[in-house]
Structure 1
């Protein structure tokens, strides 16, 4: 069983500013601690076989300057790789907009603090939020929440199939709560109204925790 409240509260979420290759960027930042040594967390995030057990199948050349593709998800290029503390990649679903994901690890006693920052061009994000509301951004944040939950379960030896586990009722409950948590963070960052946030949260929940 997943302690859903504990897992939700384990992650700090915020909207910030982080430069991207194109200039000014907007970012979603997630921070949480893991009860595992930094070398173990790094290996879980960079070893192809271990990635497949909590994130999904990753193909490509996983080295500095190499390219990768996460099955049925995004792909990109490895921009920085400084073992065991920093990994930076481009993250694209195709099309013209290329975003960036930076993973930062810091020792914390016997454990590790992980920061994941997903940055996109500021003008693109602001335009999308104005035109379509916060739903897409909430969905991205909720997706990363699920990934970091999966990493925690994997590091604690919980066996699951990352291709199918999101259908489990408790995981849907977690995803719903994560979308609500991102709604609060996004409302604070952009000053959006309650109706806009409610619609955005519903969009994220529909994607990650559909009924039925």
Structure 2
């Protein structure tokens, strides 16, 4: 069993804005501390043999300037790589405009923990934002950080596809969606609108229309 409350509370979330390619963009930032040395966290995030154990199968040339493809998901180019502290990639999913994901690591006091920070910045269609808000990508990244944390502890989810349909996964996604609602409100969003976006996002992730 996963301690869902602890896993959700271990992540600090921020909703922001910026510029990408000269255009206005929106960002989500997730921060979490892992009980693992920075070199281990870096290796887990960049080693093609380890990435599928907590995220998705990956192919491509995993080096600076190389291109990657996550099976059934996004692909792109590795545009910045400074081991073991900084990784930035372009993130191309379907027909959506290219976005960017940056992972920043720093060693905690004593060297046996790592502060992990992930920022996803994207040009978002206004209608899509009004419909779903930051949870559209935020919930997915919460799930990803959960997988990484379990992997770094020597565990994992045996059958991720099956687990995503389980009551435990739906409970996690429910709390995740609500946590992004809170972060959205903290960024200045109207509480009623933020709550409606979170509910619509949850309905998509869980496949449960009643969540809408």
Scaled by the length of structure 1, the TM-score of the pair is: 0.89
Q: Which runs of 5+ in 2 are unaligned?
A: none
Whether 1:146 aligns to 2:143 is yes
Structure 1 pair 188–134 and aligned structure 2 pair: CA distance change class (3 A): farther
Equivalent residue in structure 1 for 2:189, among 188, 191, 207: 191
Give the distance between the partners of 2:174 and 2:27, measured in 1 at CA: 21
Match in the other structure for 2:91: 91
- Number of positions where the alignment pairs a residue of Structure 1 with one of Structure 2: 206
- C-alpha contact 1:56 1:163 (8 A) present in aligned 2: no
Give the distance between the partners of 2:21 and 2:90, measured in 1 at CA: 10
Whether 1:128 aligns to 2:122 is no
Structure 1 pair 88–176 and aligned structure 2 pair: CA distance change class (3 A): same
Scaled by the length of structure 2, the TM-score of the pair is: 0.89
Give the distance between the partners of 2:75 and 2:184, measured in 1 at CA: 26
Match in the other structure for 2:114: 112
Match in the other structure for 2:178: 180
- Structure 1 vs Structure 2 CA RMSD: 1.9
- C-alpha contact 1:139 1:203 (8 A) present in aligned 2: no
Residue 167 (structure 1) shift: 2.0
Give the distance between the partners of 1:172 and 1:210, measured in 2 at CA: 10
Give the distance between the partners of 2:48 and 2:162, measured in 1 at CA: 19
Q: Which runs of 5+ in 1 are unaligned?
A: none
Residue 62 (structure 1) shift: 0.9
Higher mean displacement: 163-172 or 40-49: 163-172
Name the SS of the counterpart of 1:53 in structure 2.
Answer: helix
